[in-house]
Structure 1
């Protein structure tokens, strides 16, 4: 499943070799230099995921996808995406070589620039990738940035990230981003739906997050989320569910300083644990992760 010895590293993960010349880590997308093989990888991923997400993705994702210049034929041109996105919510997509330093990431978000990995995974990495590539970043994130609520929330997160760095509480805030923008679920009239990009760009996790009996599904509560560690190497053990996306606007208005202080005085929580005060929608069996642990 993983290819740690052969997969090339990009951006921050590549060390000095991945650092671009510009201080903001942006690069030219170089759209004209994508090969037919790279466009074919995009096509496979796009078509597979586009067949899967109807009835699983939230309405806002489907609306954003419909209105963007994005399709199966080729990797999208960031310039064309930005033209549409900027008119709708004031955002633009900027190319970066891969992962970027936290302060650079937050600075971009705070100024409504979404840093998207310029590279695309290889044909032997279709189901797992350690680093976010152009498919994850564009297919997963950009349609949601067409929605004013997500657009405002992600900008506020960037501003909050810069403050959290200065206060030394970044891990707590990072969990909010992880359990919302990356791996969030939302309750809509039609049922439970995906809005997190880490799920929506993953074939296997799109199925697991909504339908598998193994994970917990718990109503989102800010301090609970800020205490909860997450999985970076596998499916999540717990998914946090919003009543609606408007909850994110409430988060954007929160004074986080006293929240950090309260969280600092409490213990951290393992990803799969449930608390007596949780509003539990699904009490997971934990079978999937238990089996993975036994296998290791």
Structure 2
């Protein structure tokens, strides 16, 4: 068991929580203290000032539709009332990262597993494992978008297929480069939509303004072959046209694609090939 998992389970145990067989828990609203709410408020206000003009419209629309609390850690039950009425999705509280099969099963049933605990004040700018701010602020607003919500459910179903075919690394790369760190075309420019960017001040600015990373047009096979790093800002971002492009990608013959890519050498996170369509930043 990893140190991260051990620490999460210890925090859960200390909070007196019980985990069900599907790894869900009752969100321990009573366990949030003044520091947790202050951290949420600080992060929320910081990103709310930074994101307009940088994040896709669907994200801001989702924030408005859910009326997410800016001053304290939101109660999942309250968010679920609005989310369920919009797209039929629900947030389920979990102690932290869950096993792959559990994660895919939840997504396939339109349930998004969200970590309940908040990062500490000294972790505002970097946290290795996802916390409540990343999961709820970063991911949940887009679940109010019907097309993105359908994509996420289709991704969960694809994950169940990938498990049977021993192809999880390929599908994990798709999640990483889209749901977590995806960019989207917007007129002549780019907008962010991936939760790993949306919830990070540093990566929000880096992804849209730095000349260092590659920005490549989305291609399903290329994405699935591209390794990634978790210890630095991204070296490559993949750019979609819209969420319909993601949903359509899930209609591909995935078993055939998994088989085709099984023996492929793949690409490093920084690689660019002659076949790639590179997207330049606006002048």
Question: How far off is 1:252 after superposition?
Answer: 2.1
Of the three residues 220, 242, 245, the one matched with 2:243 is: 245
Structure 2 distance, partners of 1:170, 1:234, is 23
Cα distance in 1 between the residues matched to 2:10 and 2:217: 34
Post-superposition CA distance 1:194-214 (Å, at most 9, x none): 010010000100000111111
| SS of 1:81 mapped into structure 2 | helix
Q: Distance in 2 between matches of 1:20 and 1:206?
A: 36
DSSP-derived class of the 1:9 partner: helix
Q: Partners of 2:9 and 2:134 in 1: how far apart?
A: 15
Match in the other structure for 2:119: 121
> What aligned pairs does 1:25-174 form with structure 2 within 5 A after superposition?
25-174=23-172
| TM-score normalised by length of structure 2 | 0.93
Answer whether contact 1:12 1:99 (CA < 8 A) is retained: no
Asked if structure 2 preserves the Cα contact closer than 8 Å seen for 1:13 and 1:99, the reply is no
Structure 1, unaligned stretches of length 5 or more? 284-296
* Maintained 8 Å contact 1:78/1:94: yes
Q: Deviations over 1:163-190 (max 9, x none)?
A: 1011101000111111111100000226
Deviation at 1:68, TM superposition (A): 0.8
C-alpha deviation, 1:245, in angstroms: 1.8
Contact residue 12 and residue 101 of structure 1 kept, 8 A: no
Preserved contact between residue 17 and residue 25 of structure 2 (Cα < 8 Å) = no
Question: How far 1:267 moved relative to its partner?
Answer: 1.1
Show CA shifts across 1:136-171 (max 9, x none): 001000000000111001111111111101110100
Size of the aligned set, in residue pairs, is: 279
CA contact (8 A) 2:138 2:195 kept: yes
User: TM-score by structure 1 length?
Assistant: 0.89
User: Do 2:179 and 2:195's aligned partners in 1 also have CA atoms closer than 8 Å?
Assistant: yes
CA deviation profile, 1:243-268 (whole Å, cap 9, x unmatched): 22210121121120111122123211
Aligned structure 1 segments of 4 or more residues deviating by more than 3 angstroms: 5-8, 11-14, 18-21
- Unaligned 5+ segments in structure 2 are none
Deviation at 1:9, TM superposition (A): 2.6
Instruction: Identify the match of residue 262 of structure 2 among 264, 279, 293.
Output: 264
Report the Cα offset of residue 89 of structure 1: 0.5
